[in-house]
Structure 1
């Protein structure tokens, strides 16, 4: 059992540059979203339903994962999780879950809009959190660039769904 009087002080430095594998892992997570969107426009229309569904489900999984990242980062925050950290985690998780539900129910435009909202939120909120010390410093420069990929890809996916007679 943990004694509440047990504690430790940790001192660490933080760099504004991401860790060596950071950019690779960061962009590898969003490439499937861009690939799915691109395939819709150049691939076989017979595959469009599964492509849209898989792209949206991957987007939802990434949103839920990044909600977990935000929550895990908050454990190291002095004084525990802040309201902003907890709220952001719940917001992202909620959007990810709602995207799954809307995808399963075949409300693809709603699911697409929710996913775009989630990635747009990350592009805006993570740099703010980094400057406030609630997220790693490299989020300030990396997240906006990283989130631009799924935002653009999901807009293209939404346009495809909107224009396609298969999704009418």
Structure 2
């Protein structure tokens, strides 16, 4: 199956690798345990396996980035007062209708807790500055969510397993 194609499996249902990865991330988040493994594969179980060093912290979220057909990171807006309020980092909240998902937008932060402006030096704030992505040291959950059709994406990259205190709210 390639990007943009809506191939059917043997039973006639639409399939999509990004859908399957996001579904797996949701299952891993729901079954979060304290056992960790090492590789940064999105299918790595349990939640916390992408934490470095392993077993260093509790995790309730697998942070990921979605890529469009041209390889650029998908972005969404969030409410904020100290930046351009754009993020490429997400947490899956729900999956429905086979391949749609509700994603929580995550605010990228520096070590000091300031928001990383992912639009960087772009004067018109139209594009993601990939150099600015290197400044991201952590994430904060926002109250902003977006609903997406996962069949529109060609790739997914898992970034980290983190504790956003989602279950404590």
Give the TM-score normalised by structure 1: 0.31
Greater strand share, structure number: 2
The TM-score, its normalising length taken from structure 2, stands at: 0.31
Which structure has the greater CA radius of gyration? 1
As a proportion of its length, which structure holds more helix?
1
